[in-house]
Amino acid sequence: MRYAYGNSYHLKHGRKPKRLYTIWKKMRQRCNDHNAINYKNYGGRGISICSEWNDFAAFRIWAFNNGYAENLTLDRIDNDLGYSPDNCRWSTYKEQAKNRRTTIYIECNGETKTITEWSEISKIPYGTIHGRLSRGWEAQRAIFEAINHGCA
């Protein structure tokens, strides 16, 4: 049973879904508050929130009907589109990290993966692979060539 008081929604016994409410509030801040630290990466580049989600209750219903859990984050499927039920999902931090505008994907051996994923597979540190690619190494060599520590 829920009770509504203004803009915050309380569960039975006065508890409110603090984490979910914070996610909703920060989403709105990133998109609507010109003074927000991340506004330039969201509202400043046209990322908006669907009108349905101006109401926390509607967002909360969508969240619980679409897999919300305490260990998941709100993730936009297409980073060039806004926050809406058909462009959002709940993801782990690791999954969400793959969906950033700055994530670099590398094709090697017919497979496309992030540098982080290739690093986990090859046991070569992320920074080493990234540096090698920046210096013009071909993907196969950058990902799989053993590290030379300069020892004789």
What are 101-114's pLDDT values in tens digits? 677 888 888 988 88
Give CA–CA dist 61/57, Å, rounded: 6
For 33-62, the pLDDT digits (tens) are: 999 999 999 999 999 999 999 999 999 999
- The b-or-e profile of 6-42 (16+ CB within 10 A means b, else e) is eeebeeeeeebbeebbebbeebbbbbeeeebeebeeb
Of the CA atoms within 13 Å of residue 77, those in its CB half-sphere come to: 6
Q: What is the DSSP string of 32-65?
A: H-TTSTTGGGTGGGT--B-GGGGSHHHHHHHHHH
Q: How many residues does the chain have?
A: 152
Helix (H) or strand (E) holding 139: helix 139-144
How many CB atoms lie under 10 A from the CB of residue 144? 15
Give CA–CA dist 2/13, Å, rounded: 9
For 116-130, the pLDDT digits (tens) are: 888 888 998 889 988
Q: What is the pTM of this model?
A: 0.64
What are the Cα distances from residue 64, in Å, to 69, 75, 107, 111, 114?
A: 8, 15, 36, 34, 30
Tokens of 94: 């690791």
Q: What value does the mean pLDDT take over residues 59-71?
A: 96
How many CB atoms lie under 10 A from the CB of residue 142? 23
